Structure 1
């Protein structure tokens, strides 16, 4: 009986890795350049026992190719609203609740997770050699308890930003960098994901010294990819955001804002306590998770 339970747990863990990576690969396989004439369901739940590549491809219908008016900044997401065409949420185990909440005078993306995990993904195509700088702001109001990114049993994070690249292979073999705010590991730590050798965890914020405080991250994708994979990066094909607590069965609360890709960093301050001077338009992805 114990052996059967362990085998089942290992299978679910394997599917978790497949789901997270295939989110991007499935969407790209269908062709990011074309939109469907009918709007896809913004939120989809995944049952690991019923996963198949056609099902994943259907869930991950081409999302949204972003082009900004400023050529120096090729992608911008201020999270004034949560566009269900641009952003797709896929539940992995349970769900993280993503919604726009007014914070510091403007809208921000709130991620609230209780023993669950789901990921928000947006599709794009960006050459990291010309636009290498990925920047964003985030804050954590409630940290995951029991985090241990080196083990599957503790591999939850209060806040993650994923960068997916167009590497050869099956959908779940897309290389990705998982930028993490870790409560325990020091900044600069690089780990192979306990779920997949194609995913590298890179700790870019550490500790609990700045609770409920905006922190700014600036990452050079060119440099980070070379460090993680020992080669120049191919095309960046998607970005993902995730707050997850399904492994530790705890809860976490985080906020994300001002996600951007450009030729140079778009945010200069390390801490951003001042309210943003832009209008608030609240919105949320419809909850269709059973």
Structure 2
């Protein structure tokens, strides 16, 4: 891109009604649109006013993963701003990333590297940005023995039904929350909407995920 930004995904090359072509399941074992995998996902590409985006509408929890480790030339110290758009149309009632049912209408993770052992296995170090059902905007949490940091960037129903762009300096967030410098290239970006713990429904859209230089 002309300003030095990296386009991670805008879904414009994908087919309406299908899963996105470049995304995998959480552990990058196979593509999300693999016939055996696709039936497990509740995400589809939709189109509105000539623009394609990723749509979620259901209950089940299942991550979509777009790997970044092989993106040649990517260096988040040069493009530290994670920019994305999402729209939430329904939140899981009572969802709470802290102490309650861990359901969110929309969340986007940056996964950096493998962290400390938690629950007898390595857990990736990640920052998860969420649209929370109940926690106030600005809430910050630490989970999985400090390996996952959560930042609530939007909350509740007041802003539902409209596309909102968010920008976060992931290098500065990482330094502040983990206390050291992040690797130059993250492992992946993940998306998750779910309502399985509350046994309700979440509805959300995602679009225009980019890494941009700091202003």
Superposition TM-score, scaled by structure 2 size: 0.80
Q: Which of the residues 241, 244, 250 maps onto 2:191?
A: 241
Structure 1: how far apart are the matches of 2:90 and 2:125?
29
Greater C-alpha radius of gyration = 1
RMSD of the alignment, in Å? 2.5
Q: What is the CA deviation profile of residues 40-68 of structure 1, one whole-angstrom value per residue up to 9, with x for unaligned ones?
A: xxxxxxxxxxxxxxxxxxxxxxxxxxxxx
Superposition map of 1:1-290 within 5 A: 70=2, 72-82=4-14, 85-90=21-26, 95-114=40-59, 116-125=60-69, 126-151=74-99, 153-167=100-114, 172-193=122-143, 195=144, 197-234=146-183, 235-264=185-214
Q: What is the CA deviation profile of residues 188-244 of structure 1, one whole-angstrom value per residue up to 9, with x for unaligned ones?
A: 211113x55311111111221111100110010111111221222123120001101
Task: Show structure 2 runs of 5+ residues with no match.
Answer: 27-31, 33-38
Q: What is the CA deviation profile of residues 160-202 of structure 1, one whole-angstrom value per residue up to 9, with x for unaligned ones?
A: 0000002456774220001001122222211113x55311111
Higher strand share: 2
SS of 2:173 mapped into structure 1: helix
Higher helix share: 1
Shift, 1:81, TM fit: 3.9
Q: Which sits farther off after the overlay, 71-80 or 177-186?
A: 71-80
Task: Show structure 1 runs of 5+ residues with no match.
Answer: 1-68, 266-290
1:96 and 1:112 in contact (8 A); partners too: no
Query: Which structure ranks higher in relative contact order (CA pairs < 8 Å, sequence separation ≥ 6)?
Result: 2
Q: In structure 2, do the counterparts of structure 1 residues 172 and 111 end up closer, same or farther at CA, with 3 Å as the change threshold?
A: farther
Q: What is the CA deviation profile of residues 240-263 of structure 1, one whole-angstrom value per residue up to 9, with x for unaligned ones?
A: 011011221111100000011121
Superposition TM-score, scaled by structure 1 size: 0.60
